Structure 1
Amino acid sequence: MADELKVNATILAAYPEWTAKPEIKLPGWGEAVIFVTILFGGMLLTRRRNFSLFTSHKGQYRSILDQTPRNSQSSGEQIYDLDSDDDLPAHEKHSSKTRSCCGVWPIHTPNTTRFRQNPHSRLFQKFPFLVEMLYWLLNYLFYRMTAVLSNKVFTVVGIWQAAQNHALSILSVEHLSWLNFLFPLREVNLQQWFMHGHQDLLTFLDRLYSLIHIPGSMAFVVWYYYVAPSHATFATVRRTMTLTNFMAFVTFVFFPVMPPRLLPEEYGFLDTVHMEDAASLWQSGKHVNSLAAMPSMHFGYSFVIGCTMIYHSGVFRSRFEKFETRKSTFWRVVYVSLGVMYPSMILLTIVATANHFWLDAMVALIYCCVAFVANKVFYVLLPLEDLFLWVIRAEKSVPSTGERFHAKGGRI
């Protein structure tokens, strides 16, 4: 099988030398600055403007810090009294929340409203996007564990050999099995096309691959938190991305896959990103799992982002959420164009730079669809969130998603 997948020596010899002029290299600290700027810029953009950390809010703003939850539904949304709870008996103010376990059994969890005036509770209320930042920090911590766990699973065979075997199996499925009609263009041939006369375009794709995934995805999260029709709609997208992540993490552990660029040179792939020293901060160091090509989260994220853009355009919807209005033709065209072009560009990039196989993207697409259908599975974790908030003596803030647009009675 391996011999059939190897590239003929004459083809390898035909590869031209790298002649494209590399773009200006962004220093490692520059990428970190971009990432921090996006996160804290988003925190400031989505801050609650009429809420002060240091003054009383009675009569100014009625929020989760100034309202009493009557109960909590399995949907994860809480119901709040419209009137102040100051005159209620203490046992009613701090009555237990009622959660639902798997939609069947009720679970009573501690009511954290008594902690609403604690400094960190007020900080969450002022900057509700901090909660989203904590969610993504948990995602990152789980990702960090994948390489360690995978090494333990493949101690006998060796993680490197196992990942190479899996990569060759993918190539075999794509080009030697009965499914080869789904993959008419080999990855190595696509990269070779770029190497012969289109290296300037390939060096652009190298930079795109290095810099767009993490900063671009987080910028999207910030943007959609700000403009989504409701927090429930935003949360659906966030849960979909998170569940896709977790399914991918399990695959990284039990089915490590070597990216094409790391295969032996007789298979014909070139590591163009590193050839021009374009590797990103997010692609190097001990925190990176370099054998996590299956599925491609570059494409998975871009697919979710693209679908969200198309949904946000309103083109395929006849009904709109409260405060949401039909967009102008110009904005509909912009959002639909971005929704189609962005994942298409990422797909081209990950294959042309030899960082992923076609099948990696296909599996990522399937994971995204499954995650969207099953995204509410995270509701089973709500009791744990309640207990965690109780332990740290904090009250979770009300999201500020769309707050400024709601005040205007519409949205862009």
Structure 2
Amino acid sequence: MTTTARDTASGNVAPDGRAHESGRRRFRGVLPDRMLQHREPRWWQEIAIIGFCYWIYSEIRNLVPQQKSIAERHGRGVQHLQDALHLNFERSLNSFVADHEPIAQVMNYYYATLHFIITIAVLIWLYVAHPRIYRGARTVIFATSLIALAGFYLYPLAPPRLLPQYGYIDTLQVFHTWGSLADPKVAEHSNQYAAMPSLHIGWSLWCGVSIFLCARRMWVRLLGAIYPVCTLLVIVGTANHFIIDAVFGLIVFLIGCGVQYLLSGRSAYRKAPHPPPAMLHAKRSKPETPQSGS
């Protein structure tokens, strides 16, 4: 929509220079307009922010009490609930994966590595290729991760692989996957009862949505759409999560999107507006330094 003199005279122009649709009032978010306008992200600031936030996340996640008895009780409760709802195909998929070592090994390494590699790669891609979207998308994944931390603390949950009485097979342990949580040296530094919600699903949904909405090539967009589905099959096939964990992973991702909308008043994947021309002119023009008299 083109901003006209009539729009300006009628007061229908937003602070970012765009004209509002007549008769409609759009929610503009709780942050001030100057914080919502596009500013070129600086790589060193972003690395510092992401590194600090990830360190905080890791420390808090592993400081959550590993209440084994409570987590196992919650695990039994989730199993009984899924049996009652007939959402109990985890065991069938897990048994199939465990019976085929090549599939199990691929899934194990997928679970252990791609969770971080793909997420970091998508962040870098958004930073480089879509800077006007980057900050909003980054807010979503940060909010999603913080909300998941609350879930880990409030509801410690033993994953299916730690409930062998129900017939689950820990493929990480059976096939001795390098770097897996079945390795005591790795497990002692990680909270194995931080399963609810599934952050693998939360992060993979963020990656998938980001790729699908921002990529130009259709085959890349399709890969983005498939990625969360593959992640769901992996977390269930390796007995690292219940289906209900995945459902709550979706919920926390949607809440993360809601937090971003509350802050900015726009979708995370809507480009941040450029500053109004008057503000740009004010930044570019520098007042002349008064000359001292001779």
TM-score, structure 2 length as denominator? 0.71
Q: Which residue in the other structure is 1:195 paired with?
A: 98
Q: Residues 370 and 75 from structure 1, CA distance in 2 versus in 1: closer, same or farther, beyond 3 angstroms?
A: farther
- CA root-mean-square deviation: 2.5
Q: Which amino acid aligns with 1:129?
A: W
Output the CA distance in 2 between the equivalents of 1:262 and 1:279.
Answer: 18
Partners of 2:181 and 2:34 in 1: CA distance: 35
Establish whether residue 242 from structure 1 lines up as the match of residue 125 from structure 2: no
Q: Give matches, 1:91-130, under 5 Å.
A: 128-130=42-44
Give 3-state SS (helix, strand or coil) of 1:150's partner.
Answer: coil
- Provide the residue aligned with 1:371 in structure 2: 256
In the TM superposition, what is the alpha-carbon distance from 1:257 to its structure 2 partner? 0.8
**Matched ranges for 1:148-159 at <5 A:** 148-151=63-66, 159=67
Match of 2:89 among 157, 175, 186: 186
Query: Secondary structure of 2:245's match?
Result: helix
Equivalence for 2:60: 145
> What amino acid is aligned across from residue 109 of structure 2 in structure 1?
R
Q: 1:135 aligns with which of 40, 45, 49?
A: 49
The residue aligned with 1:262 is 162
Deviation at 1:299, TM superposition (A): 1.1
Question: Which of 330, 342, 355 is matched with 2:240 structurally?
Answer: 355
2:289 aligns with none
Q: 1:79 to 1:147 in 2, by over 3 A?
A: closer
Could you say which residue in structure 1 is the equivalent of 2:20?
none
Q: 1:247 to 1:75 in 2, by over 3 A?
A: farther
After superposition, the Cα gap between the structure-2 partners of 1:337 and 1:76, relative to the gap in structure 1 and judged at 3 Å, is same
Alignment of 1:175 onto 2:96:
no
Structure 2: segments with no counterpart, 5+ residues: 1-30, 265-294
Aligned partner of 2:107 in structure 1 is: 205
The structure richer in helix per residue is: 2
**What is the alpha-carbon distance in structure 1 between the residues aligned to residue 155 and residue 47 of structure 2?**
29
Alignment check: 8 A CA contact 2:64 2:191 kept: no
Q: 1:6-405 maps to which residues of 2 (within 5 A)? A: 73-74=32-33, 76-77=35-36, 128-136=42-50, 137-151=52-66, 159-176=67-84, 180-181=85-86, 183=87, 185-196=88-99, 198-228=100-130, 230-231=131-132, 233-263=133-163, 265-280=164-179, 284-313=186-215, 327=216, 331=217, 333-375=218-260
Would you identify which runs of 4 or more consecutive aligned residues in structure 1 move more than 4 Å?
A: 376-379
Distance 1:218 1:370, change over 3 A: same
C-alpha contact 1:211 1:280 (8 A) present in aligned 2: no
Query: Contact conserved, 1:175 with 1:186, CA < 8 A, in 2?
Result: no
Larger % of strand: which?
Answer: 1
**Larger relative CO (CA 8 A, sep 6+): 1 or 2?**
2
Report the secondary structure of 2:65's partner residue.
Answer: helix
TM-score computed with the length of structure 1 as normaliser = 0.52
The Cα of 1:188 is off from its aligned counterpart by 1.1
1:130/1:377 CA distance change after superposition, 3 Å:
farther
User: Residue 74 and residue 173 in structure 1: after superposition, are their counterparts in 2 closer, same or farther (change >3 A)?
Assistant: farther
Contact conserved, 2:156 with 2:196, CA < 8 A, in 1?
A: yes
After superposition, give the CA deviation of every residue in 1:8-54 in whole Å (9 maximum; x if it has no partner): xxxxxxxxxxxxxxxxxxxxxxxxxxxxxxxxxxxxxxxxxxxxxxx
Name the CA distance, whole Å, in 1 between partners of 2:168 and 2:110.
Answer: 19
For residues 202 and 38 of structure 2, the distance between their equivalents in structure 1, rounded to whole angstroms, comes to 34
2-structure distance, mates of 1:267, 1:355: 14
Distance 2:181 2:101 in 1: 23
| In structure 2, C-alpha distance between the alignment counterparts of 1:149 and 1:293, rounded to whole Å | 12
Task: Confirm or deny: 8 A CA contact 1:191 1:351 kept in the other structure.
Answer: yes
